[in-house]
Chains A and B, each alone.
Chain A
Amino acid sequence: MKNERQRTQDLNHLSAFLDDSLSKSQLEQLESRLAQDAELRMKLENLRKTKIILGRLPRLHAPKNFTHTPDMVTLRKPKAHPLFAPLQIATALAAILLVVVFGSELLLGSGLLTGRLMTEAPAPESALALDSTPQPLIQWGVPDNAGFGTGGMGGGPQGGGIDPYVFEQPVEEMRKAEESGISEEEGMLESVPEIEAEPAPAMGLAPEEPEEMDMLSAQEQGADSVADSKDLILGINAEQAGEIISQSKPSGQLEQPVSEWRSMVRWIEIILAVIMAGGGLTLLLLRKKRPSS
């Protein structure tokens, strides 16, 4: 076993010696052994002759040209820019998403969205409908609440406005006017300066229909006993006087989510369109840069 291993190692070293690929130490070791071992020298000589004989084999010429013609091979596509494939994918995805968003917007905008609003809308629509009828606004003795008015639809209070729908004259003033024998119109006219004298008068008093006033005063008179005992005014605790009570949400709160949704969709559409257009242009430029074969 050892002899076989030694023989193989000798063979490897002799072969490497022929190609000058032995390390310095290996070379020195082999040269010392060659100087002493005739059989090893003969072996080396035979290997050298073999190598020379093999090297004497003639160089053959190719029997034909192996050049390619276009019909022999599928012509290589020019090497694409490294960004080409990612850009292609991104542009295609942007285009698909844009179509999906457009489609969704159309569907939701025309059918689904309106359907959703209609199902969710009873409260809002009724609130909108209430806009055309007197609001259940009650303002009792609030001297500094001068700016209320047509503040709907998210708008701020607009001073000096008169609520076109709701007007309730303070009962006390009306009662005083009746008691003093002044006609309703006169009493109202008299009350105007008082209101205007306030730091921030609530509003000018809109002319009230006499019948309504009569009914109101009659109701007031009939309910006086109850109201006085419980400090309730029109079923509302007197402590709550001056609060604006609305049973319906402002219409702005309803439209806000829809408008936010629409603006978000717009932004998405814009971003996708920019990606698609930019990607397409870049791809076009990259394609033009590729040399033709």
Chain B
Amino acid sequence: MDEQALIKDALEGSLDAFNGLVLHYQDLAYNVAFRIMGEQDASSDATQEAFISAYQKLDQYRGGSFKAWLLRIVTNACYDELRRRQRQPVTPLRPELDDGETLEDPFWIEDDAPSPEEKSEEAELQAAIQHCISELDEKFRTVLVLVDVEGLDYDTTCQAVGTPLGTVKSRLARAREKVQECLQGFWELLPDLFRLNDEEIA
């Protein structure tokens, strides 16, 4: 993929060229959104919003890493979505009975999927890691996701979050430490190889 050619064509109004960029980056964008938000639907919405926003703001792209520029839009879209959800918390879907009482776990929302206990260890571990990531503050979370989960280098991360290198480094260190502390609560889920030192746990 000739990224610069696609960007140039997209800047000149080619929607097909922009869709080429979308197809190339949509997995990365969705992954970042999911790791930041921890929820599929919200992540999907945020990703969609981010790509629409990127298309509308494409003339503000001033060269450099398009990936970093796009990820900054994605993370901002995630923050916006998170704040929106905080203002308008999702109401649990519990139908009212005739007497006004709510029906717990109606049959039509029963989940036939395996319960957490039935999931594989790997899935549990992933859920635990995601849980620990979600416990982090937004800014620490984003840096951790970009560097440790997505494997971006420091420069791209700095551009994506719009902060200096020193800030990124300190946020990353703090985030790693926080996740490490969080994962100690799920140590039985961790493979032996990755179990943390007992001394540290104590």
Partner-B contacts on A (CB < 8 A): 8, 11-12, 14-16, 19, 21, 39, 42-43, 45-47, 49-55, 57-68, 70, 72-79, 290-293
Contact check, B13 vs A62: say whether CB atoms are below 8 A apart.
no
Q: Tell me the residues in window 41-78 of chain B with beta carbons closer than 8 Å to chain A beta carbons.
A: 44, 47-48, 51-52, 55-56, 58-59
Contact check, B151 vs A55: say whether CB atoms are below 8 A apart.
yes
Contact check, B55 vs A68: say whether CB atoms are below 8 A apart.
yes
- Residues of A with C-beta under 8 A to B11: 76, 79
Closest to A59 in B: B31
Q: How far is the CA of A16 from the CA of B130 in the complex (A)?
A: 23
Contact check, B56 vs A73: say whether CB atoms are below 8 A apart.
yes
Contact check, B13 vs A293: say whether CB atoms are below 8 A apart.
yes
From B126, B169, B194, B195, contact of A12 by CB (8 A) = B169
Contact check, A54 vs B197: say whether CB atoms are below 8 A apart.
no
Contact check, A54 vs B169: say whether CB atoms are below 8 A apart.
no
Query: Of B20-28, B91-99, B109-117, which binds chain A?
Result: B20-28
Closest to A41 in B: B197
Contact check, A67 vs B23: say whether CB atoms are below 8 A apart.
yes
Partner-A contacts on B (CB < 8 A): 10-15, 18-19, 22-23, 26-27, 29-31, 34-35, 40, 44, 47-48, 51-52, 55-56, 58-59, 125-126, 129-130, 133, 144, 147-149, 151, 154, 169-170, 172-174, 176-177, 179-180, 183, 190, 194-197, 199-200
Contact check, A66 vs B172: say whether CB atoms are below 8 A apart.
no
Q: Say whether chain A's binding surface is mostly helix, strand, loop, or mixed.
A: loop
Q: How far is the CA of A198 from the CA of B106 in the complex (A)?
A: 136
Nearest Cβ in chain B — how far from A112, in angstroms?
50
Nearest Cβ in chain B — how far from A42, in angstroms?
5
- Residues of B with C-beta under 8 A to A67: 19, 22-23
Closest to B190 in A: A53
Contact check, A66 vs B151: say whether CB atoms are below 8 A apart.
no
Closest 10 CB pairs of A and B: A15-B173, A293-B13, A54-B148, A67-B19, A62-B30, A78-B13, A50-B180, A62-B26, A12-B173, A66-B26
Instruction: Given A291-B13, A293-B14, verify A50-B51 contact (CB < 8 Å).
Output: no
Q: How far is the CA of A19 from the CA of B146 in the complex (A)?
A: 13
From A61, A64, A68, A293, contact of B52 by CB (8 A) = A68
Q: How far is the CA of A73 from the CA of B14 in the complex (A)?
A: 12
Q: How far is the CA of A14 from the CA of B196 in the complex (A)?
A: 16
Q: Can you list 5 A-B contacts with CB-CB less than 8 angstroms, sorted by A residue number?
A: A50-B180, A54-B129, A62-B29, A73-B55, A78-B12
Contact check, A11 vs B174: say whether CB atoms are below 8 A apart.
yes
Instruction: Given A15-B173, A68-B22, verify A62-B52 contact (CB < 8 Å).
Output: no
- Residues of B with C-beta under 8 A to A54: 129, 133, 144, 148-149, 179
Contact check, B154 vs A57: say whether CB atoms are below 8 A apart.
no
- Residues of B with C-beta under 8 A to A68: 15, 18-19, 22, 51-52, 55
Apart from A50-B196, A57-B149, A76-B55, what 10 extra A-B contacts exist at CB < 8 Å?
A11-B174, A11-B177, A19-B172, A46-B200, A52-B194, A60-B31, A62-B47, A66-B51, A67-B19, A79-B11
From A39, A66, A292, contact of B13 by CB (8 A) = A292
- Residues of A with C-beta under 8 A to B180: 46-47, 49-50
Instruction: Given A14-B173, A16-B173, A58-B126, verify A42-B13 contact (CB < 8 Å).
Output: no
Contact check, A42 vs B52: say whether CB atoms are below 8 A apart.
no
- Residues of A with C-beta under 8 A to B170: 8, 12
Contact check, B13 vs A77: say whether CB atoms are below 8 A apart.
yes
Q: How far is the CA of A123 from the CA of B44 in the complex (A)?
A: 88
Q: How far is the CA of A66 from the CA of B23 in the complex (A)?
A: 7
- Residues of A with C-beta under 8 A to B125: 53
Q: How far is the CA of A73 from the CA of B11 in the complex (A)?
A: 14
Closest to A45 in B: B197
Nearest Cβ in chain B — how far from A235, in angstroms?
87
Q: How far is the CA of A52 from the CA of B169 in the complex (A)?
A: 17
Closest to A70 in B: B15
Instruction: Given A42-B197, A54-B179, A62-B30, verify A76-B23 contact (CB < 8 Å).
Output: no
Contact check, A21 vs B197: say whether CB atoms are below 8 A apart.
no
From B22, B52, B177, contact of A47 by CB (8 A) = B177
Contact check, B148 vs A63: say whether CB atoms are below 8 A apart.
no
